[in-house]
Structure 1
Amino acid sequence: MIDVTLRNKTLLAAAITAALLALAGCSDNDDNASSAITPERPALPSGTGEEFTVATPSDTYPLPAKQYAENNADGSLRFRINDNPIAYLLRGHNDIWQGTSDVWQNNANGDGPDNYLSNPIRNAEVWRANIQYVIDATQRRSDDEAILAFLDDMRSKNYSVIDGLGPLTGSYVSASGAYTDIPVPSTSQVLADANYKASHNDGIAYAGDTNSELGDVVRLVDAFRQRSPASTNASKYIFSTPRPWRMNDNGDVEFLRTEANYPCGPDSVTYDVYNSSVSVVPGLICARRAHSASNEAKGLYTPTTENRRKDGGYPSGHTNAGYLASMAYAYAIPQRYAEMLTRGSLLGESRIMAGMHSPADVIGGRIHSMIVASYALNQPDIANEADEAYQQAQQYFGGLAKTAGMDLYDYAHRNVENERSLAEGGNVTTEVFDNNWFNDRAANRANYRERMTYNLPQDVSQAGQPVVVPLGAESLLRSRLPYLSDAQRRAVLYTTAVDSGYPLLDKTNGWGRLDLVTAADGYAAFEGDVLVTMDAEKGGFNARDGWYNDIDGEGRLTKAGTGELILAGNNTYTGGTLVQGGTLSAASQTAFGRGGVYVQDGTVRVAPTDAERVQIDGNFTLEAGTLAIDLGNGANTVGVDQLAYIEGSTLSLDFGDQIPAAGTRYTIVDASNLFGQFSQVVSDSVDVELAYSAGTVVATVL
């Protein structure tokens, strides 16, 4: 610890006097011309004076889904759109394509409709864009995209998405007992053999053993997928939409004929034939729904008529299953939260790449899964299981990280060397493996948000509608933002939602617009004042977290408790920043927005990654606490537009691995006006001397 030293006390006195005169101003009265007034300590940033609360929607039956989602598992209620809240929330599909009557949608069954409405296309522009996306994707896909589409079709979804864990994938498989037993195909069988008959599997066993070291995590996957009203079958029959390989370039169903005795492995089957530009992955041709002798015997269709009444596309069941498994893993291992959700979205994209589903189907699958997962987490027994899964996963992976000398977040994002490929030695790699697929935060956010809408044409006349946050949706962020209250998590979902006006989304009571990947990066606006109280002893994100969104709004941020919160966005919020405990770190030039910063206790840490200067648009008040400057990557300066007021505070300088040469100067504070001094300086083994002027604090290495 180095005491503050002053080489020129006269210079210091003059500098302080000049600063005070500048603050106080001068009078024409000669008696007052030389008198300086000590500036008052700046007031606390004011913000809006109240917390922003997101109201719950005024729901009527069959909403809210939190209460009535179980109807999706009821033998009769599930087939009635006005009784099944999940199907009801997916009814926006009727605005772009409706092939079944209102009467059918209120009294459907598991045999599927025996007739369809004429002229079902309600929005030709959107429906054409929907099918065109599939045509373009399936005609331009890479070999890896085709192979992944095959794997995401054939493997259990509980297993297939495990690779969203990145460098934790192999460790999870080893500790949980997760496995796949699909036969290993050659790459040519997947990419070129339209007669290859693959085997598929699904079930909780493929996620692992409930008696394993990670058995509680396996049990949570089971809760989301099997012990919740998770099936998409009812909605598939209610809407009975065609799969893309049954549609022509305009999205019309142009049935040509059936093809009997089509060879699929050792079997011969009957398939429907349509006019379509969609190219199904060759190795999945035989995975399409073939004619069934039992259904023909029931009179549902004949050997020469189409069987699509039993093969609805909306919502995508594989997508729903993939997201549900992903959200279970994300809850237990929130260090990979955004990556797991992005993996779920990639499985949905794989369904399109396969030629099996359209963007509308996949969007519906995502919405369906969010409703189910939220319902599950709002059941007390499953909520307890979720917390147990979280604790078990944190202990297991935290132990691995400790052994490696890393914290768990860094361990979960370490680079994987010698990464395996989806195809090796002429065969498809059917096992999941450690990977770097989701190591780009910005790409994850962009990909996930694009897959929320697939850029289907937006009705701009409906843009800008208020965001609705459904009752219970906040539970989806509970383990990712554990230091926030439920009300605050609702506010995060509100400020990070996608715009309105996109197909399917606006009739979902808010579910379709919730962007969980962006929400994982914290607030995007302070609509009111935000108090963040962290408890580092709880570990994980309670000890250290980062908000990477660009934050606007008029609210004030208050950081309290212990732990470290990192602000890394291009922020413009105007309510100011108050630090009362723990550490608030600035990782961008505009981290503190456009208001003042006031430190009552705790630490403000300056370590920008994109600039050498962190700007404070207002006063910077150090009533107590510490200003910590990271100098290891350059000369980081705190720029202050108005007054820098320093009273009884510590300056901590971190030079990292550098050993700066004697005489090296660092401008620590650069303000319009400066009052006061640091009471002490902590600079490890580097001796420094501080010099104060009217607006700057400069550290010189001795």
Structure 2
Amino acid sequence: MHNNRYAPPAALLPIALAVTLALAACGGSSDDSTATSSPDNFSVPAAPKGLGTADTAPVQDEASILPFVDYAYTNQRGDARYATDATNAGVRVLDGYLALWTPSTLIVDAGVTAAANGSYPAVVASSWTGIPGDSTDGTIVNASILSTNINYVINATTSRTADQATAAYLDDRRQKGYSVTDGMGPLTGAWRTAAQQTTTITSVASDATTVLYNDNGNNIGVGTSSGNTSFGAAVDLISSMGNNASTEPAKRFYKYARPWRWSSSVIVVPALVPAESGTPNVDGGFPSGHAAEAGRDGLAMAYLVPERFQEMATRALELGENRIIAGMHSPLDVMGGRIQSEALVAANLVANTAATRQAAVTQAHTALMAATNTTTLAAFNQYAHSGTTSTDRFADHATNKANYLRRLTYGFPQIADTGKTAQVPKDAEILLETRLPYLSADQRRIVLKTTAVASGYPVMDDKEGWGRLNLFAAADGYGAFNGDVSVAMDATQGGFNALDYWQNDIAGKGKFSLSGTGTLVFNGNNSYTGGTEIDGGTLQADSVTGFGNGDVYVAGGTAVFNATSPVTTVNYTQLAAGSTQANLGNNGQGQLKASGTVTLVGGTLNVKFASGFAPAVGSTLTVITAGKLQGKFTTVNVAGFKATPVYTSTGMQIQITG
């Protein structure tokens, strides 16, 4: 199914109202058709209290955890022979691997001193062969997981299709920055033109089984120093993700062989056989360099064009999986590449100034909007998601979500403590800076915390927390309100500040409050219990439990009921400055169903109708059902029809009169 989650729903678009029914304010006179059996005088409930505190995701004590973003500079290719988890951040971020495999130790070289080199200890790498079974390489700690790891590759390579083999070949031989840009979907052509990207690998040559073809294209494109004045700043930002980014130190330290060396049952794509290294002692499998580079490029592009954030993150992980299908790497290898890439992108984004980052984002949007003839961020967002599954393989959100989650763990069982609270690494929140611009940095950290993968999976439990990040889920907003959450959106800034969707199933005991002028849509299976308060802007429920399992309090702004079945709440209160919008359709669509009391202290009700639904004249439509209803709306507007509101002690309906 086509993913149209970013397109403004029809219910939010301006609709000319054929009639406005002005009713007497609560307590005023009314005729029998609008009478309510509730008393004229009643107590107005107070707003939900919530927990009274906000959740936190503090940075860990730097005395015991060396933040990757502060020590990324230690990850240098030239020091690869001497790197250890104590001296190199690129090695250390992957130290969860030590629960599976103990690499051979480094040997002190009396001829090298720390004082002489100044950047690494007086050690050299032991002579490892890169051939499985040689004790000089290391020893197996968890045989079950490592066996599962190689068996996964055997199954993947012996069952792959011809199309999968082609995709694996292209992702191997093409430069990674060029490959992943097809994650831009409808924007791919505009992106590649603006970046001036090129590749020389466009297909599998007939003699590829015997000839090694290398990509002579320019990978990520042309930067400002080479004259790209309209898109060079964006290319430069992506290029900076390669700083301190070598996977060589980690490969040399962990000394874990490629899967086709572990088992002859692993069938490398025949066209990639010429790419197999003949020097196993310098050809480590863990982590995957291709997966790491794809992650760096993909996440940088996601930062620049957050309208395709999840699609680009998905594409980056797809390239990693293609390394497995190729037979060149194992699941653990590509998992390591993902983890290291996320840490490096955060570190390198921080290393760029805020002004540099903003200039790159602005330039990317200016160029791409011009290329797509879109003049607003909303129109650009719609264009970015205008493809179908036949033209954009990342067009379906649910499919992307499932694939991303599967590629985080590759089905490995949890082998350690499964109940650890997620830690958020220092500055990791910068990865969401453009995707959730209306949240504070602290709030983005909490989003990462509440959407993190459970603990205990192989490799992913690094000490700082990079391995457990689920950036796809984080782009869908909070996973839980474990404290009270207040969001202010400014629609004048456009883009996600004006309209955004939170698609996670939000749990927790906290309260959610919305203010400002933007629109936020909840469509998860939400169970948070602290209540919902709308003080400004629009909060829309696209699912039955969109507003959680608590009270809803509309002090200002608008609550929109847009689910295909009645939206449930406990108590519902609307003050005079508030507004309710019911997008009615068949089978209870757009209705409000409160198990407790609905209190209406005036305000406005706007009734609109779902696409394809046209009520018959003379019909009566339910808007609200409740355990008890008290009060009335001041004004009721019904789109396209004349109607009369009817209030009872347990609900509210409209009669279509013309």
User: TM-score, normalised on structure 1?
Assistant: 0.83
Using the alignment, how far apart are the partners of 2:152 and 2:449 within structure 1? 29
Alpha-carbon displacement from aligned partner over 1:216-247 (angstroms, at most 9, x marks no partner): 2211111112xx21111111111121001100
Using the alignment, how far apart are the partners of 1:51 and 1:66 within structure 2? 26
Moved more, 346-355 or 690-699: 690-699
Question: Match for residue 176 of structure 2?
Answer: 157
Shift of the 491–465 alpha-carbon distance from structure 1 to 2, 3 Å rule, reads same
Question: Match for residue 167 of structure 2?
Answer: 148
CA contact (8 A) 1:644 1:674 kept: yes
Question: Match for residue 615 of structure 1?
Answer: 568
Alpha-carbon displacement from aligned partner over 1:642-667 (angstroms, at most 9, x marks no partner): 11111221111223555433113221
Aligned residues: 614
Shift of 1:619: 3.3
Question: Match for residue 510 of structure 2?
Answer: 555
Shift of the 527–5 alpha-carbon distance from structure 1 to 2, 3 Å rule, reads closer
Shift of 1:385: 2.6
Using the alignment, how far apart are the partners of 2:236 and 2:522 within structure 1? 35
Question: Match for residue 20 of structure 2?
Answer: 2
Q: Aligned match of 1:393 in 340, 364, 372?
A: 364
Question: How is 1:241-320 mapped onto 2 (pairs within 5 angstroms)?
Answer: 241-248=256-263, 276-290=264-278, 307-320=279-292
Using the alignment, how far apart are the partners of 2:559 and 2:630 within structure 1? 18
Moved more, 109-118 or 444-453: 109-118
Alpha-carbon displacement from aligned partner over 1:284-338 (angstroms, at most 9, x marks no partner): 0001113xxxxxxxxxxxxxxxx31111111111101001000011001101101
Q: Aligned match of 1:211 in 204, 221, 228?
A: 228
Shift of 1:615: 0.7
Q: Aligned match of 1:368 in 319, 334, 340?
A: 340
Question: How is 1:184-203 mapped onto 2 (pairs within 5 angstroms)?
Answer: 184-186=203-205, 189=207, 194-201=209-216
Question: Match for residue 443 of structure 1?
Answer: 399
Question: How is 1:189-588 mapped onto 2 (pairs within 5 angstroms)?
Answer: 189=207, 194-201=209-216, 204=219, 206=221, 211=228, 213-225=230-242, 228-248=243-263, 276-290=264-278, 307-381=279-353, 383-399=354-370, 400=372, 402=374, 407-416=379-388, 435-459=391-415, 461-588=416-543
User: TM-score, normalised on structure 2?
Assistant: 0.88
Shift of 1:360: 0.9
Alpha-carbon displacement from aligned partner over 1:188-233 (angstroms, at most 9, x marks no partner): 55xxx632322234755547776153322211111112xx211111
Using the alignment, how far apart are the partners of 2:586 and 2:308 within structure 1? 28
Question: Match for residue 175 of structure 1?
Answer: 194
Question: Match for residue 91 of structure 1?
Answer: 95
CA contact (8 A) 1:80 1:107 kept: no
Shift of the 8–482 alpha-carbon distance from structure 1 to 2, 3 Å rule, reads closer
CA contact (8 A) 1:207 1:221 kept: no
Shift of 1:621: 3.2
Alpha-carbon displacement from aligned partner over 1:390-430 (angstroms, at most 9, x marks no partner): 2122333445363699622221111248x5xxxxxxxxxxx
CA contact (8 A) 2:566 2:593 kept: yes
Q: Report the secondary structure of 1:237's partner residue.
A: helix
Q: Percent identity at matched positions?
A: 38
Question: Match for residue 425 of structure 1?
Answer: none
Structure 2 counterpart of 1:98, which letter? T
Structure 1 counterpart of 2:239, which letter? D
CA contact (8 A) 1:62 1:68 kept: no
Structure 1 counterpart of 2:59, which letter? T
Q: Report the secondary structure of 1:525's partner residue.
A: coil
Shift of the 550–108 alpha-carbon distance from structure 1 to 2, 3 Å rule, reads farther
Using the alignment, how far apart are the partners of 1:507 and 1:656 within structure 2? 48
Shift of 1:279: 0.4
Using the alignment, how far apart are the partners of 1:518 and 1:597 within structure 2? 25
Using the alignment, how far apart are the partners of 2:373 and 2:626 within structure 1? 42
Shift of 1:51: 1.0
Give 1 or 2 for the bigger CA radius of gyration.
1
Shift of 1:508: 4.1
Structure showing greater relative contact order (alpha-carbon pairs closer than 8 Å, 6 or more residues apart):
2
Q: Report the secondary structure of 1:463's partner residue.
A: coil
CA contact (8 A) 2:556 2:578 kept: yes
Shift of the 108–366 alpha-carbon distance from structure 1 to 2, 3 Å rule, reads farther
Shift of the 458–538 alpha-carbon distance from structure 1 to 2, 3 Å rule, reads same
Moved more, 687-696 or 320-329: 687-696
Q: Aligned match of 2:47 in 44, 49, 68?
A: 44
Q: Report the secondary structure of 1:46's partner residue.
A: coil
Q: Report the secondary structure of 1:494's partner residue.
A: helix
Q: Report the secondary structure of 1:120's partner residue.
A: strand
Q: Report the secondary structure of 1:474's partner residue.
A: helix
Shift of the 103–625 alpha-carbon distance from structure 1 to 2, 3 Å rule, reads farther
Question: Match for residue 608 of structure 2?
Answer: 654
Shift of 1:76: 4.0
CA contact (8 A) 1:492 1:524 kept: yes
Shift of 1:74: 7.5
Unaligned runs of 5+ in 2: 1-18, 109-119
Shift of 1:626: 1.1
Question: Match for residue 629 of structure 2?
Answer: 674
Question: Match for residue 31 of structure 1?
Answer: none
